[in-house]
Amino acid sequence: MGFHMFEPCTDVACNNIFAWLNQGPLTLTIVLHTILILPMFWIYFSEKKKLGK
Amino acid sequence: MLSKTAHLSPSKQLAMNYFRVAIVLFGAQLLFGLLAGLQFLFPDFLYNVLDFSVNRMLHINALVVWMLYAMLGSVYLMLPDETGIDHPVAIGLGKLAFWVLTAAVTVVVLVYLFIQIGPGKESTIWFINEGREYLEAPRWADFGIVVVVLIFYANVFFTYMKGKKTGIMTVMVADLLALAGLYLAGMFYTDNISVDQYWWWWVIHLWVEATWEVFVGTLAAYGLIKVLNAKREIVEMWLWIEVLMLFGSGILGLGHHYFWIGTPEYWWEIGALFSALEPVPLVAMFVHVLYDWGKEQGHVQAEGKRTAIKNGPAIAWISINAFGNFLGAGIWGFFHTLPQVNIYTHGTQFTASHGHLAFFGAYATILIGMMYLGIQESYGIERMKATFKSKMAIVLITFGVVGMTVALTIAGYEQVLVERAELGAGWQAYFTAQNLPWYIQAQVWREIMGVVTFVGFVYLLWDLLTIGKKEAAAE
Amino acid sequence: MAKNNASVWTSIRFWRRSAAWVTGVAVVLLIFLTFDTMSQIRMGTDKELEQGIKRRIPAPTVINHHIDYKYDEKRGMEVPVIGKKEPFFGKEWSPKEARALLHLGKLTVQAKNCMDCHTLLGNGAYYAPDLTKAWLDPMWEKTMPAMTGKKTKEEAMAEFLMHPGQYRTHARAMPNLKITPKEAMGVVAFLKHMSSIDTNGFPRGFSKVIKEGKTGGTYAK
Ligand code: HEM
Ligand code: HEM
Ligand SMILES: [Fe+2]
C-alpha cells in the first residue's frame, strides 16, 4: 500500500516553512490553529484574575 | 417607502434613499438573471445582441451593488440610534456622495448594456469593463467608489467618535474599514492570471465570508434590539463571539480558493480545515436569534402582552436570514469546501447553487428586513404587522430561491459525475453533461423557480410601497 | 458587565480581547502566507525556463514549447510537462515579443469578458467549457483544424475565436466578440500559457476517456 501519514514534500517548491510543515498528518493546519487558540487560555486566566478582584 | 420621511433625522432620510435605489437594482438583478437562465434553455435567444456574458454581468453586478446600497442604508439607519447623534458630521457631503454614486452606477450600467466589450487595450479596462467576475466595473468607477466610500466612512467614523460608543457600533466601524480597504486589492491589472485570481479572492471571499458576515452580525444585533427589545449586554456579547469565530475561520478559510489556481499545495490543508469551521459561527448566529426571540417572547407573555415583536416582516426576514445563512453558506458551502471534493465540483453548477442560496440567505434576507425597519420609522409605527403582501413576498421569494438552489444542485451533481468524474472535463465532456436530459430538466426548473422568485419580488416591492401607509392608518 | 462573581464566559471583555487576538493573528498569518505564495507564483524567468527549472507559472516564452499534461506518480496527479521547442504561429518568439503577446492576450480576455461565460482556472461562469487546459483539448488536435481549414492548432484556435459563429459544434454557440487577428494570437498565447500553469492536478483526468477513444458516459454520443 503506497500510503503514509508522513509524506515527504513533493510540491514544486519545498524550501519554505509551510511546505515543510505540510508533510505530516494535518500538521500545518494544526500548528496554525494552535497559534490562534492557545493564547486564549492566557486571556481567559487573565480575565478571571481581573474578575476575581 | 415613497414618502413620509420629512420628519426623520437626516441620517435616516439618507438611509431611505439608499434603500430605494437598492430595491430597484434588486429587481434589475432578477430580470437579468431570468434572461441568462433562459439562454441556458434557448441558446440563440438574444445571441450576439445581449449575450449570456452581458446578462450575467448585469445580474451579479446589480446583486453586489444593491447589497452595498442596502448596507450603506442600514448603517445610516442605525447611526443615530447607536451614537445618539441625528446629524452625522458631514451629512451634506454624504447626500452628495449618494447622488454621485447613483449617477456613476447609471453610467456603468448603460455602458455594460450598450457598449458591452472593448478592444484588448488598457482603455477598455479603464472605461468599459474590467472583465473580472463581480469586479467588472471599469477602473474609473472603482476610483469613484473609493471616493464615495471614503466620504461615507468619514461620516460614520467621526460621528462615532463624537457620540456614544456602543459595542455594536465599534464592531461596525472596524469592520467597515476592513471591508472598504479590501476593495483596493481588486483594483490593479496583472498579466499573471494566478496572481490576478489570488487577489481577486481577497475581495470576493474576504468580503462575503469575513467582513460582510460580521456586518450581518452587527445588523442582526441591532435588529434584535429594535424589534424585540433584546438586552444589549447579551446581544453584544454574542456579537464579539461571532466576530471571534467568523474572522478566526473566515480569514484563513480563504485558502479554499487556492487549491487549483497555481498556488502551492499547502493551501489544501489550510483551506480545508479553516473553511470547514466557517459554518460554526453561522450555527451560533442562528441559535442566537431564536434564543433571543424565545426569551423576549417569554418576558412579554409573563407581563400579559401577546407578542414581543414590534416589526413582523423584519423579524421574519431576520429569522430567514439566520437559517438561510447557515443553510446556504454553512451547509452548501461545506459540501464542496474540502479539496477532495472540490477538485471535482470546482467551477460547476454546484458552485452556482451554493452562490445563490448563500447570497440570498446571508445577505438579501437581512437587508430586506432592514428596509422594513426603515419604513416602520418613516411612518412612526409602534407595532408593524406583516400584511398579506409581506407574507406572499416571504413565501414566494424563499420558496423560489430554495427551488432554484435544489435544481442547480441536481444539475451540479450531474455535471460533476459525468463531466468531471466520468469524462475528466474538457470541451466534449462539458457538453455531454450539459445535454443530459436530467441536467436540462434541472435548468428548466431553475427558470420556473426564478419566475416564482420574481413574482415574490413584485409582492415585496408592492408591500414596501404600501405597508407603511396601511399600518400607520391601522394604528 | 464585570460583576464580581460573573463568569469569564459571560464577560464581554474576554470575548472582545479574544476576538481582537484571533483576528490579528489570522491576518498576520495570512500576510506571511501571501508573501510565500507570491514568491512561488510570480511568473518564471526565461532563464529558468531554458535551464529546465520548474516554476508554477512559467515565463511567457513557454509558448515556444510543446506542452503536455501527464500523470506524475510522485505527486499523484497530473502536472504540466514542458517539452521540446515547437513553432508558435510559425516562429519562435523572443522573450520581449512573448511577453507583449501574452499581455495583449490577457487584456483581450478581460476586455471581452470571457470569464462571464467560461471558467479560467475553474473560476468564472458555467455557460461554456473550462479554459484552464483548453490548449490541450483533444478537439484542437484534428477536429477543429479540419473544420477551420487550418494546418496548426494555434491557427485553428485563432480562427475560431474570431468567427465562433461559423464553427458551431453545439447548439450553444460562442458569440462574435469582434476579436482582431492580432488579439486572437494574443488570446491563444494566453491559453497556451495558462495550460502550462501547475494547478495541483485540476482538472483531474483531463479528457482521458476521450483521448483513449472510449466514448463513455451513459448518454454520451
Ligand atoms: C454568506 C457567505 C457566503 C457567500 C455569499 C458565498 C458565495 C459564494 C460564491 C458566489 C461563490 C462562487 C464564486 C465564483 O463565482 O467563482 C462561492 C464559492 C465557494 N464557496 Fe462560498 N459563500 C459563502 C460562504 C461559504 C462558506 C461558509 C463556505 C465553506 C464552508 C464556502 C465555500 C465555498 C467554496 C469552496 C467555493 C468555491 C467553489 C468552487 O470551487 O467553484 N462559502 N461562494
Ligand atoms: C430570478 C431569479 C434568478 C435567476 C433566473 C438567476 C439566474 C442566474 C444565472 C443563469 C446565473 C449564471 C450561472 C452560470 O454561470 O452558469 C446566475 C449567477 C448568479 N446568481 Fe442568480 N439568478 C436569480 C436570482 C438570484 C438571487 C436572488 C441571487 C442572490 C441573492 C443570485 C445570485 C447569483 C450569484 C451570486 C451568481 C454567481 C454564481 C457563481 O458564480 O457561482 N441570483 N444566476
Ligand atoms: Fe470562500
Query: Contact, B146 vs B183, CB < 8 A?
Result: yes
Residue A26 within a domain: yes
Nearest by CB to residue B236, choosing from C12, C123, C198, is: C12
Same domain as C36, residue C51? no
B259, B344, B351, B401: residue to mutate for ligand 1 pocket, most atoms within 8 A of CB = B351
Query: Contact, B122 vs B140, CB < 8 A?
Result: no
Residue matched to cell numbers 440567505: B361
- Chain A positions touching C55 (Cβ under 8 A) are 12
Q: What is the pLDDT of residue C217?
A: 42
Same domain as C22, residue C63? no
Q: What is the pLDDT of residue B306?
A: 83
Q: What is the DSSP letter of B213?
A: H
Residue B188 Cα distances to B143, B285, C192, angstroms: 11, 35, 23
Residue C19 within a domain: yes
Cα–Cα distance between B56 and B139 in angstroms, integer? 19
Q: What is the pLDDT of residue B2?
A: 62
Pairing of strands C65-72, C119-120: unpaired
Q: What is the pLDDT of residue C221?
A: 40
CA of B206, nearest ligand number: 3
Residue A34 within a domain: yes
Domain range for residue C186? 46-219
Give the minimum alpha-carbon distance from B166 to chain A in angstroms, rounded to a whole number: 21
Q: What is the tally of structural domains in chain A? A: 1
Residue A27 within a domain: yes
Which 3 state secondary structure label does DSSP give C184? helix
Q: What is the pLDDT of residue A3?
A: 76
Picking from C12, C15, C18, C42 by the largest number of A CB atoms within 10 A of its own CB, the best residue to mutate is: C18
Same domain as C173, residue C134? yes
Residue C146 within a domain: yes
Q: What is the pLDDT of residue B384?
A: 95
Q: Is B233 in Cβ contact with C40 (below 8 Å)?
A: no
Same domain as C179, residue C96? yes
**B448 within ligand 2 shell (Cβ under 6 A):** no
Q: Which stretches of chain B drop beneath a pLDDT of 70?
A: 1-4
Provide the terminal-to-terminal Cα distance of chain C, rounded to the nearest Å. 70
Residue matched to cell numbers 507559472: C57
Q: Is B240 in Cβ contact with C104 (below 8 Å)?
A: no
pTM as predicted: 0.96
Task: Give pLDDT tens digits for A1-53.
Answer: 567 888 889 999 999 999 999 999 999 999 999 999 999 999 999 999 998 87
Cα–Cα distance between C178 and B362 in angstroms, integer? 39
- What residues of B are in the A interface, CB distance below 8 Å? 248, 252, 264-266, 269-270, 272-274
| Residue C6: pLDDT band with limits 50, 70, 90 | confident
CA proximity to B236, closest of B171, B167, B169, B290: B167
Same domain as C94, residue C33? no
Same domain as C21, residue C104? no
Interface size, chain A vs chain C, as Cβ–Cβ contacts under 8 Å: 49
| Residue C214: pLDDT band with limits 50, 70, 90 | low
| Residue-wise DSSP of B359-397 | IIIIIIHHHHHHHHHHHHHHTT-SSB---HHHHHHHHHH
Residue C110 within a domain: yes
Give the minimum alpha-carbon distance from A12 to chain B in angstroms, rounded to a whole number: 8
Identify the H or E element spanning C67.
strand C65-72
Task: Give pLDDT tens digits for C132-155.
Answer: 999 999 999 999 999 999 999 999
CA proximity to B389, closest of B455, B320, B473: B455
**Residue type present at position B442:** A
Q: What is the pLDDT of residue B6?
A: 74
Picking from B243, B258, B266 by the largest number of A CB atoms within 10 A of its own CB, the best residue to mutate is: B266
Cα–Cα distance between C66 and C70 in angstroms, integer? 13
Pairing of strands C77-85, C65-72: antiparallel
CA of C203, nearest ligand number: 1
| Chain B interface includes C12 (CB < 8 A) | yes
Residue matched to cell numbers 436530459: B437
Residue C167 within a domain: yes
Total Cβ atoms within 10 A of residue C221: 8
Q: What is the pLDDT of residue A1?
A: 59
Q: Is B266 in Cβ contact with A21 (below 8 Å)?
A: yes
B59, B342, B353, B408: residue to mutate for ligand 2 pocket, most atoms within 8 A of CB = B59
Residue C104 within a domain: yes
Q: What is the CATH number of the domain that holds C171?
A: 1.10.760.10
Residue A11 within a domain: no
Q: What is the DSSP letter of C149?
A: T
Query: Contact, B342 vs B271, CB < 8 A?
Result: no
Query: Contact, B194 vs C57, CB < 8 A?
Result: yes
| Chain C interface includes A50 (CB < 8 A) | yes
Picking from A36, A38, A46, A48 by the largest number of C CB atoms within 10 A of its own CB, the best residue to mutate is: A36
Q: Whose CA is nearest to atom 43 of ligand 2?
A: B33
Question: Which chain C residues in 14-73 lie under 8 Å from chain A, judged by CB atoms?
Answer: 14, 17-18, 21-22, 25-26, 29, 33, 36, 40, 54-56
Looking at this predicted complex, what is its ipTM? 0.95
| Chain B interface includes A43 (CB < 8 A) | no
Residue C160 within a domain: yes
Nearest by CB to residue B266, choosing from A19, A33, A36, is: A19
Residue C1 within a domain: no
Cα–Cα distance between B365 and B326 in angstroms, integer? 13
Q: Is B259 in Cβ contact with C15 (below 8 Å)?
A: no
Same domain as C209, residue C106? yes
Same domain as C129, residue C51? yes
Q: Whose CA is nearest to atom 23 of ligand 1?
A: B329
Q: Is A51 in Cβ contact with C8 (below 8 Å)?
A: yes
Cα–Cα distance between C195 and C203 in angstroms, integer? 11
- Helix ranges (DSSP H) in B415-436: 427-434
| Chain A interface includes C137 (CB < 8 A) | no
Total Cβ atoms within 10 A of residue B178: 18
Residue B231 in grid coordinates: 438586552
Asked if the bond preceding C95 is cis, omega within 30° of 0, the reply is no
The arithmetic mean of pLDDT across residues C20-47, rounded, is 97
Cα–Cα distance between B388 and C173 in angstroms, integer? 45
C-alpha B52 to ligand 2 mean position (Å): 12
| Residue B38, C-beta contacts closer than 8 angstroms, at least 6 positions apart | B45, B447
| Residue B382, C-beta contacts closer than 8 angstroms, at least 6 positions apart | B310, B475
Total Cβ atoms within 10 A of residue C142: 11
| Chain A interface includes C78 (CB < 8 A) | no
Residue A15 within a domain: no
B179, B203, B208: residue to mutate for ligand 1 pocket, most atoms within 8 A of CB = B208
* Backbone phi, psi, residue C65, to 5°: -115, 155
Classify each residue of B421-452 as buried b or exposed e, where b means 16 or more C-beta atoms within 10 Å of its C-beta: ebbbbbbbbbbbbbbbeebeebbebbbebbeb
The arithmetic mean of pLDDT across residues C52-74, rounded, is 95
Picking from B265, B275, B278 by the largest number of A CB atoms within 10 A of its own CB, the best residue to mutate is: B265
Same domain as C21, residue C54? no
Cα–Cα distance between B353 and B343 in angstroms, integer? 17
Radius of gyration of chain B (CA): 22
C-alpha B347 to ligand 3 mean position (Å): 13
Q: What is the pLDDT of residue B159?
A: 96
Q: Whose CA is nearest to atom 21 of ligand 1?
A: B333
Same domain as C213, residue C187? yes
CA atoms C177, B430, C195, C198: torsion sign: positive
| Residue-wise DSSP of C74-109 | TTTEEEEEEEEE--BTTBPPPHHHHHHHHHHHHHHH
Q: Is A36 in Cβ contact with C26 (below 8 Å)?
A: yes
Give the minimum alpha-carbon distance from A27 to chain C in angstroms, rounded to a whole number: 15
Residue A28 within a domain: yes
Q: What is the pLDDT of residue C212?
A: 67
Cα–Cα distance between C204 and C77 in angstroms, integer? 7
**B32 within ligand 2 shell (Cβ under 6 A):** no
Return the residue of A nearest to B264 by Cα. Answer: A11
The arithmetic mean of pLDDT across residues C112-118, rounded, is 98
Plot region of B417 (φ>0 → left; ψ -120 to 50 → alpha; else → beta): alpha
Domain range for residue A45? 22-52
C-alpha C193 to ligand 3 mean position (Å): 26
